[in-house]
Amino acid sequence: MATSSHAAEAFRREARDMTVAEDFSAVVPFEIRSSAEQRVPFVFSSPHSGRHYPQRFLQMTRLDSHAIRRSEDCFVDELFSGAASLGAPLLLAHFPRAYLDVNREPWELDPRMFAEPLPSFANTRSPRVAGGLGTIPKLVGEGLDIYAAKIRLAEAIERIEGVYRPFHECLRKLVTHTHARFGVAVLIDCHSMPASIRIGENNLRPDFIVGDRFGTSASSALSEHAISLLTGMGYTVAHNKPYAGGYITEHYGRPARGLHALQIEVNRGLYMHERTLQKSAGFTALADDLLRFTADLLAMPEEELAAPRLAAE
Contact 102, 170 (CB under 8 A): no
pLDDT at residue 151 in the model: 96
pLDDT at residue 142 in the model: 77
The rounded distance, in Å, linking the Cα atoms of 101 and 96 is 8
Domain ranges in the chain are 6-299
pLDDT at residue 141 in the model: 82
pTM: 0.92
Q: Classify 6-299 by CATH class.
A: alpha beta
pLDDT at residue 5 in the model: 46
Segment-wise mean pLDDT, segments of 10 residues, the chain, 313 residues: 47 58 94 95 98 96 96 98 97 98 97 96 96 97 92 95 97 98 97 93 92 97 97 98 96 97 98 97 98 97 75 42
pLDDT at residue 203 in the model: 86
Looking from the CA of 70 toward its CB, the CA atoms found within 13 Å total 16
213: CB partners within 8 A, 6+ apart? 240, 244, 245, 249, 250, 253, 261
Can you point out the beta strands (E) in 133-231?
139-140, 144-145, 185-193, 208-211
Amino acid letter, residue 14: E
Contact 208, 270 (CB under 8 A): no
pLDDT at residue 302 in the model: 84
DSSP 122-140: SB--SHHHHTT-SSS-SEE
The torsion angle over the Cα atoms of residues 108, 186, 52 and 103, rounded to 10 degrees, is 10
The rounded distance, in Å, linking the Cα atoms of 19 and 5 is 24
Q: Could you give the 3-state DSSP secondary structure of residue 80?
A: coil
pLDDT at residue 19 in the model: 81
Compute the Cα dihedral for 268, 273, 274, 278 and give only its sign: negative
Contact 101, 134 (CB under 8 A): yes
